[in-house]
Amino acid sequence: MHQYHLLLRWLSLQPIIIFSSAFIQKEIKTANNIKDRNNRHNVVKTLVKITELLKNTTNETTTPSRAMPAHGGWLSGPSGRKTGLFIFAGITETNEEIIKILEPPFESKLFIYKCCSKFVTEPFIEFFKEHNMGLIIFANGDKALMYIYNGIFNKVKTIDANLIKSHSKGGSSSARFGRLAVESKHHYCEHVVDYINKYRDIKKCYIFGSKDIKTKILTSKNLITKLYQIDIDFHDFDDKTIRLNEKLFKTLMDKPIQTNDKIFDEIITLLEIDPDFLLFGKNEILENIDNVEFIVAHDNETFENAIILEISSKYYEKLHNYEFIAKLFYKY
């Protein structure tokens, strides 16, 4: 009979969970009570191997609250990343020693130890599935939260803001506070933009939050990351928002991004060569609604099925002056 050990390691971001050699020593003492001599020998030998392995893990900068008492280092893998380690260790019936170490591509908060006759893999299969890398940003002027998605959501940045509020008491003081309020909002938005740009290679980046803050971020001259929006704002958000709406955000991350580039291209072409195919303004569209193929608008409050012209769209500069614009099936 052979005995395998599985050690699933969490990332040391939870100081109350500390992994040390004391845990291994306790398991060794327990293993010494195994009745079968061969099993007892293999289990103890494997645990000793794991102890030696952990002593050699990468020891990068730590704080006392996060340090591991036995050897003072986080369980970083050969790459030096602090995402954790999954360790499979055991001895086969033919006395072949197996030690396999896997580094999850993103943060693991698991801590699972199993001693059984086979390797247990189910708890961490999710870590190695292929997922679309994505970024979720929340910003409302009070703070900003950013999450990377790669199968699960991991918060990568929190930005706290202390925006100066303007007041209406009059006088030079009011004007000064008004100016400072505008400046502080601008600095906050540009600070958020700087961090968003660090993830410019990510294809799916969605921003949520207050409308005015989103507009300033989306229209920033320094923004080089493509950002998307949906109709839901999440003006009020906190650290629980991602978890409470996880299904929505995962759907956004996993489904293909649908663009309306062909429609916008068609409108721009018709504006140049045949504008009689187009209708402008709410009243004109309503009068001819039965002959309308599609409508482009800044929002869908007036026309529920309108195609939204996003501020972040590459077509925004050419079309933003048209609050409503529609294409006819045929010219009159």
Question: Pick from 198, 230, 254: which residue ends a domain?
Answer: 254
Cα separation of 280 and 285, whole Å?
7
Tokens of 87: 């360790």
Domain shared by 138 and 122, yes or no: no
Task: Write the pLDDT tens digit of every residue in 10-38.
Answer: 332 222 233 456 778 888 888 888 888 88
Domain shared by 148 and 200, yes or no: yes
Domain shared by 169 and 244, yes or no: yes
| 23 Cβ contact list (under 8 Å, min separation 6) | 113
Cα separation of 278 and 263, whole Å?
12
Domain shared by 268 and 151, yes or no: no
Question: Pick from 76, 106, 128: which residue ends a domain?
Answer: 128
Instruction: Tell me the residue range of the domain where 36 lies.
Output: 3-128
Tokens of 274: 């045949």
Task: Write the pLDDT tens digit of every residue in 55-65.
Answer: 766 443 333 22
Domain shared by 81 and 175, yes or no: no
Of the candidates 122, 85, 97, the residue with the CA atom closest to the CA atom of residue 47:
97
Strand 86-91, strand 134-139: pairing = unpaired
Give the model's pLDDT for residue 253. Answer: 86
Cα separation of 191 and 187, whole Å?
6
Domain shared by 289 and 214, yes or no: no
Cβ–Cβ under 8 Å, residues 106 and 94: no
Q: Look at the chain and report how many structural domains it folds into.
A: 3
Q: Which of 200-204, 222-226, 262-266 has the lowest mean pLDDT?
A: 200-204
As a whole-number percent, the residues of the chain with pLDDT over 70 amount to 77
Give the model's pLDDT for residue 331. Answer: 78
Residue-wise DSSP of 206-248: EEEE-HHHHHHHHT-TT--S--B--S----S--TTHHHHTHHH
- 100: domain CATH number is 3.30.960.10
Domain shared by 229 and 271, yes or no: no
Give the model's pLDDT for residue 305. Answer: 79
Element housing 319 (H / E) = helix 316-319
- Confidence band of 173 (pLDDT split at 50, 70, 90): low
Tokens of 5: 């050990």
- 166: domain CATH number is 3.30.420.60
Domain shared by 149 and 232, yes or no: yes
Domain shared by 214 and 275, yes or no: no
Average pLDDT rounded to a whole number, residues 181-193: 87
Predicted confidence (pLDDT) at residue 161 exceeds the cutoff of 90: no
Cα separation of 332 and 318, whole Å?
26
Please state at what angle helix 211-218 crosses helix 171-196, rounded to 10 degrees. 60
Give the model's pLDDT for residue 325. Answer: 94
